[in-house]
Structures are given as C-alpha cells and as structure tokens.
A and B are shown apart, each in its own frame.
Chain A
Amino acid sequence: MFSKEMLKLFLEGTAETFYMVLVSTLAAYLIGLPLGVVLVVSEKDGIRPMPGLNRILGILINLLRSAPFLILLVALTPVTRAIVGTSLGSTATIVPLVIGSAPFIARMVESSIKEVDAGVIEAAQSMGASPMQIVMRVMLPEAKPSLTVGAAIAITTILGYSAMAGFVGGGGLGTIAVNYGVYRYQTDVMLFTLALLVLIVQAFQEVGMRIANRIDKRKK
C-alpha cells in the first residue's frame, strides 16, 4: 500500500512518538507524583496540614490546567528554546508535554491517594507511624492499583498532546499526520497515522488496566 520510504517514515514516527511520550510521562511523574502527595498530605485534615502551601499549590495547578494544551505549547516556546535550544522536534516537545501534564498527573495522584481508606491511615497513626512512613508504607502501596490506572490514562493523554504538537513541528506521528494529511491532502497517510495512534492508545490502556487488575489484592 505504502512505499518503502513511507513505511520507514511511519516507523521513525512511531519510535519518536514513543520516545517523546515515555520520557515525558516519566518526567511528568517525577514532578506530579510528589506534588500529588503533597496536595493530600498538606490538606486541612491531612496527616501534615499545611493549609497555606496547599492553597498555593492548588491555585498554581488549576492555572496550568485551565490553559488548553495547544496554547500552552505555543506560549512555552521561549522556555523550550531556553532549555533545549530549539522548539522543533521531539526532544523539544518533551518540555511542554511535561509542563502541560504534570499538573494533571498531580491531580490524578491526589485522587488516587484520597481513595485510600482513612481507617487504614488512622491505624498506622495509632501504631506511631510518621507522616513520611504513612506516605511511603501506606498511601502509595495501598493506592498502587489506582495509581496504575492513572498512569495509563496519563500516558494516553500525553500521547494525544504529542500528536497535537505535530501542528507546530513537534515530531512523531502527529507531524506526519499534519504534514501529509493536512498540508498535502494525502488522506490515506493521515488515516493510517490515526489508526496507529488509536492502536497505541488502546494498547497502553489495555496493558495499564490489566496490570492494575493483577496487582490489586482487594479482588479475590
């Protein structure tokens, strides 16, 4: 159906997309996970209340989250250039991907941890657990299945963002879809790229759910 060069292009595009998405997800979790934990812990009735910090973080996260990703992508160009040296290509796209998804990951982590039974946390407190021990030994392990589902959602969302970045030369499958489908009217290329993206989203989602189900010991 496609020429050898086209197939090579798809392959490279897919590899680039994977690279962007995986590195971004990892980096976004490095920021989002601790942020999410701090959001829960510092709440008014949290295990280490810090209402001021909680408020500021909440506002900051909401601000970032309310900006549509495409706008963030453009607005962050100077930042990206300062960090990577260019605003084009897959490595450059990692910057807005991380900044755009870390706040939303923080919120997802927050809600996963909040699902942990308050009684279990209380039991740990009654045994003399410190806030740090509660985070590391109770909250995170107990929230693991939910965090895994969250990670699957995060990764697919970031994949979607990365495709959007194709419009501004972000690299990966998104760029192929835009270059061939939008600018050259090669609908077949666009559709094929789309199919690849859908397939990848499906795969991540499915794998994430399965892992979550498997590690969840609440089910017999």
Chain B
Amino acid sequence: MEQKEIIRIEGLTKRFSGKNGEVVALENIDLSVNEGEIFGIIGLSGAGKSTLVRCINLLERPTAGRVFVNGQELSSLSDKELRLARRGIGMIFQQFNLLMQSTALDNICFPLLLAGVNKKEAEKRALELLEIVGLSDKKNAYPAQLSGGQKQRIAIARALANEPKVLLCDEATSALDPTTTRSILSLLKEINERLGITIIVITHEMRVVEEICSRVAILDASHVVELGSVQEIFRKPKTAAARRLLFPGKENGAAVGIGERLLRIVFDGMTPFEPVIANMVLACGAPVNIMFANTRAIEGKTVGQMIVQLPESEEAVSRIEAYLNTQNITFEEVKEDVL
C-alpha cells in the first residue's frame, strides 16, 4: 500500500545556546508522517517533543537538517512565503492560547481575517466551525467564561479555519481531566476521519497515543528511540524509554510476594481479558500476583497487557507457560525494572 508522506524530517538537530552552555534539544531526527494518519510523538518531560513539533512549522528554526511539509522545504522560504505556508499547518496548545479579549466567534475569525478574508465571510465560516466542534451556543462567550475542554474546542475550530492539511497538537489534552481528554481526542479523531487532516499528537501520556494514534515515535533524550505502529510498540517495547512510558505506575511499588519472576502477558484482541487469568489460575492450580494491568481498545481491538508475579515453584511456572502457549497468548519473562 503506497502512502503519500506529508511531513518529512531529515537530520533535524536543534541546539539552544543559553547562559549555562549549550542544550541539545534534538539530535539528528529522521521522521516521516503519512497523509491522513494520526501520528503520535511521545516522550518524557524535556525529551524535546515541543521543540520537535515547533520545528515543523518553524516556530523554532532548526540548527541543522531539513523539514518538508506538503512538499515544501519550510526553512528555504522567505518570511512571507513561510507565513503563507503556515496557514496550511494548524496548531493547538496545552494552554489553548486563545485571545482573551475576544469572543469565541472572533477567535475563530481571527486566522481568517489574517488571511484577508472579509469579515462577513469569516463569520459565516466561523459559525460552521463552531458547529463542527459543538459549541454553536457559545459564540458570544469569552474564553474566561468557558471550561478547559470548551476552550480547546474553540482552539481546534480556530486551527481548522484556514483548512489546513496538517494539525499539530502540543500536549493538547494535558491540562484537561480524563473525561474531557477523551472527548477532545474523539473530536480530533472525527476531524481526522471527516476532513482527512493529518494530525500530529505530542504527549507524555501513553493513553492518548493508544486512544487515537496509528503510529508513534518515542522520543527520549533528544533522539527518536522507537518508531512503529502503536500496537507493535505496545506489544514489544524494545527500549527502556518505551517501557517507562508504558508503565507509568512504577511508584505504586507493589508488594513482593510469591516469587521474584515476572511474566508479561499480552492480549492482542483475540482473547477476552478477564477469564484468561482466572482460567489460568484454575487450570494450573497456581496463584499469581497481578502487578500491573492495562487494557484498552486500540483501533477497534482490545489490546492490553498485564504483568504477573509468578509462583515460586518452577513446576507451577512451566505449567503456566504451557497453558498460555496452548491459548496462543503472547508472553515474555521480564525483569523487575519494567515496573
């Protein structure tokens, strides 16, 4: 299946020179994003995620390397051409960044007026966008009168006003509660499906990626350390950085009981979740201790994983492994440090 790439990043390096020397925020990043996909970039705080996304619309100038959006190499453009190109790249932010002294409607009109659309035309389009984000009744409200989720919806409408091909989201849900996060994510997904806009989602939360992304890049200490489909990375994280992001609950420090050995069991959507462990325990007559569990719907399939602490007895362990094998369930023994 041939896919058209809409963003290509080649050898991107970004260094900041500050008072206490140089900070390398990104080093030699290569990445490409296909048209129409929702691409996740995940990493811990300070990994360079914001810098990376800001290099895509050149809010930050790369120290080295090239960025192509829509076939245009942005850093080769003049200021004026760059401003034109930016209209094709929407962006939303963690702090929403709305004009606080303008109404919701005027906020959405803003990019249109910048682009030279006349006021009447702009308002008509803004009303349509309000409809899309489900806030038609709030057109005359000021941002201070809106909830976080509503503000982000207005920001999304504003970002869509000039019909961009790409939407960049920098921690767009990080200031929101879980329920609101889910509703914003489903709005983004809807926009992606309905309007065919390519979306890049920056986050430090795995659940955001799980919920909407098809592919993900893991950014750690200025480098892309893993890249692939969400399912792939979720099932077989290869790097310590990926595992850290997958198991954020480390500090819950589960009690060490039965044995030392840990087994990671992966559910790939083929098997129902709960009965597997219960059946296994019944069939093997050996207890396990559930250390970590996490299942979610990814692209229509239930995918999840669980870390269980194995019984002390070698014999019980091999019974469990045999049982899992007969059930065609993926598993691997893991070290303590994944938790």
With both chains docked as a complex, state the minimum distance between the C-beta of A50 and any C-beta of chain B, in angstroms: 14
Contact between A117 and B97 (Cβ–Cβ < 8 Å)? yes
Cβ of B101 under 8 Å from chain A: yes
Partner of A144, one of B93, B95, B101: B101
Contact between B59 and A219 (Cβ–Cβ < 8 Å)? no
Contact between A119 and B97 (Cβ–Cβ < 8 Å)? yes
Question: Which A residues are CB-close (under 8 A) to B84?
Answer: 128
Partner of B87, one of A120, A128, A141, A144: A128
Cβ of A127 under 8 Å from chain B: yes
Chain B CB within 10 Å, residue with most, of A127, A130, A144, A218: A127
Contact between B114 and A137 (Cβ–Cβ < 8 Å)? yes
With both chains docked as a complex, state the minimum distance between the C-beta of A123 and any C-beta of chain B, in angstroms: 4
- Chain B residue nearest to A217 (CB atoms) is B142
Question: Which B residues are CB-close (under 8 A) to A141?
Answer: 99, 101-102
With both chains docked as a complex, state the minimum distance between the C-beta of A141 and any C-beta of chain B, in angstroms: 5
Contact between B86 and A128 (Cβ–Cβ < 8 Å)? yes
Cβ of A142 under 8 Å from chain B: yes
Contact between B86 and A218 (Cβ–Cβ < 8 Å)? no
Contact between B114 and A126 (Cβ–Cβ < 8 Å)? no
Contact between B83 and A138 (Cβ–Cβ < 8 Å)? no
Contact between B162 and A127 (Cβ–Cβ < 8 Å)? yes
Residues 98-140 of B contacting A (Cβ, < 8 Å): 98-102, 110-111, 113-115
Question: Which B residues are CB-close (under 8 A) to A144?
Answer: 101
Question: Which B residues are CB-close (under 8 A) to A219?
Answer: 144
Question: Which B residues are CB-close (under 8 A) to A215?
Answer: 101
Contact between A218 and B100 (Cβ–Cβ < 8 Å)? yes
Cβ of A4 under 8 Å from chain B: no
Contact between A128 and B115 (Cβ–Cβ < 8 Å)? yes
Cβ of A88 under 8 Å from chain B: no
Cβ of A122 under 8 Å from chain B: yes
In Å, the complex CA distance between A139 and B331 comes to 57
Contact between B59 and A122 (Cβ–Cβ < 8 Å)? yes
Chain B CB within 10 Å, residue with most, of A120, A133, A138: A120
Cβ of A125 under 8 Å from chain B: yes
In Å, the complex CA distance between A137 and B111 comes to 10
Partner of B99, one of A122, A142, A220: A142
Contact between B59 and A217 (Cβ–Cβ < 8 Å)? no
Number of interface residues of A (CB under 8 A): 25
Interface range on chain B (Cβ under 8 Å from partner): 20 to 34
Contact residues of B: prevailing secondary structure: mixed
Contact between A127 and B100 (Cβ–Cβ < 8 Å)? no
In Å, the complex CA distance between A129 and B143 comes to 21
Question: Which A residues are CB-close (under 8 A) to B83?
Answer: 128-130
With both chains docked as a complex, state the minimum distance between the C-beta of B175 and any C-beta of chain A, in angstroms: 12
Residues 70-122 of A contacting B (Cβ, < 8 Å): 117, 119-120, 122
Contact between A119 and B101 (Cβ–Cβ < 8 Å)? no
Question: Which B residues are CB-close (under 8 A) to A145?
Answer: 101
Contact between A127 and B97 (Cβ–Cβ < 8 Å)? no
Question: Which A residues are CB-close (under 8 A) to B98?
Answer: 120, 123
In Å, the complex CA distance between A30 and B168 comes to 40
Given known contacts A119-B93, A137-B110, A220-B144, is B101 in contact with A126 (CB within 8 Å)?
no
- Chain A residue nearest to B145 (CB atoms) is A220
Question: Which B residues are CB-close (under 8 A) to A130?
Answer: 83
In Å, the complex CA distance between A129 and B95 comes to 19
Question: Which A residues are CB-close (under 8 A) to B110?
Answer: 124, 127, 137
Contact between B59 and A126 (Cβ–Cβ < 8 Å)? yes
In Å, the complex CA distance between A216 and B90 comes to 28
Cβ of B91 under 8 Å from chain A: yes
17 sample A-B contacts, Cβ–Cβ < 8 Å, listed by A number? A117-B95, A117-B97, A119-B95, A120-B97, A120-B98, A120-B99, A123-B91, A126-B59, A126-B91, A127-B159, A128-B82, A128-B84, A128-B87, A141-B101, A142-B99, A215-B101, A216-B101
A-B complex: 4 closest residue pairs judged by Cβ atoms = A128-B86, A123-B97, A128-B83, A119-B97
Q: B residues touching A (Cβ–Cβ < 8 Å)?
A: 57, 59, 82-87, 89-91, 93, 95, 97-102, 110-111, 113-115, 142-145, 155, 158-159, 162, 168
Q: A residues touching B (Cβ–Cβ < 8 Å)?
A: 117, 119-120, 122-130, 133, 137-138, 141-142, 144-145, 215-220
